[in-house]
Structure 1
């Protein structure tokens, strides 16, 4: 009997039976371009600042941290600007925990969550974990989502929560603010909480708007972000959201006590105070992303326009075979399970070259 069969013999909730945990392959290969990490790492000056900040907390580790993480919320508000204050901000251990808390507060048994696949694969898992019904909306054949279509589906399903991912994962495309506004208005009847997941927004093309612009006067709108991607701090696990102060108050009802450690708070505050240094590599990543798009087009493939640090591309007859062949060359990218498509993170120039060279050889063979 294997481990999965033994798990099935436990008295699990019925809706968890047969489920598999989220997780991309974690393999030890030279070029890791599968989970959209910032492969440039933390710059030396920011690293020193974080080390100093964490060291300063060590003498107080016998005490609980600031339950309200006040300084961190102030720094997050200053980073986002948009007239936000600490009262508009909330943070948790990665944006996944922020989303989980939102579903705990506004979802649950008898309530529903709508999103539009293909999109972030954690959304249905978060719904399941909080006992919420998950509704899979529809996109166009090219994976786009129009304001009219999204609003119509919200009116049809009357969800309690709508999850919009922009730039979308895995396609990398940003949503227009017209989509967000239309969804918000369509959700008025069901009083839907509308969450715009902007995990990759720092990589957007210049001029791409943020849903932060729409927060004033929209108390049911939430904008979720993370320090995992552009800030190169995936290992620190710090996500956050901006919304009306009463949304943060709702999350206080469901969060675990002292859920953000003193170490996490110190590291995040130091990073925000060194944001210029940490974000300096964003433009270099965008150059490699655009290079990937250009060279994939030259290879006859069909990359989607990307406002993220990754590229979703189609035109492959056997994507799983291409994935395996790249892995054999020491390059790990992501098979997202969509026929004919794969996804690759934009890494350093050398990492990007390794991917493109390997792919060119595979397709040529």
Structure 2
């Protein structure tokens, strides 16, 4: 574990941004908005994006090789993103101190992530490559974080963290290709448009290994061809807001997003535990689906000389059961709130 800690610390130093932070945002995931406290129960992430290409030699070689294979070799480098975050998973009843072998195990992840975004010359395809490294188990700090939050908001204290997925260095590489679908896109009324996009995503690592595909419908004004735009880059993809972008008032812009995703799961550390170790775990479902709905609000009047406009985004995800058990395993709903400044 000393070696793992040193590797994570070195990664944190190497990933520190070298360019000015041009877009910053904070995301909070939680299921308490839907009156539950189970499964994927909490996630926090602080992220910042910069337009300067600060890739080192290793990152350039990896992203270049990946893009040649994925078809984005001629794409324009768009942005780099640095993220630091924590994920938290619990069983359905956190007041039970004894092991619960038929329910989802306690698990946490404290991670650092780096993403690189590339846009094809025609603006119709957005490619995202990612690398994530983190620590699970007690070093994820999920147990003290949840206990502190529950103490502050006066909720029941979790009792079963002694039986959590153990500590390991968790690594994952990922790639996503999001493609505009012009045939199913066009004006709805006035300047309001519908943009449809299809995407696929794949991840490989001892954190998760899976393949996913999905479809999104975005409704709004002055939308980029590939919508919805990831947080923090919408203004750059549209070349800056022009014309009528208002929603209800001149000082407000709004965008509605609906989506569906299916995933084939080959491995999930947070469900199955570490291989060949005596970790708690359950039998995962190999096919999982999500339905998503989100609303983004932009406030163009908040743009400053040194930063872009503020935005807030809320997304709801309804997920099918992720594991099998003799008892009923319900679907789960998580809310995601993002607050930040755009470019």
- Larger % of helix: which? 1
> Do both proteins adopt the same fold according to a TM-score greater than 0.5, normalized to the shorter chain?
no
**TM range, smaller chain:** under 0.3
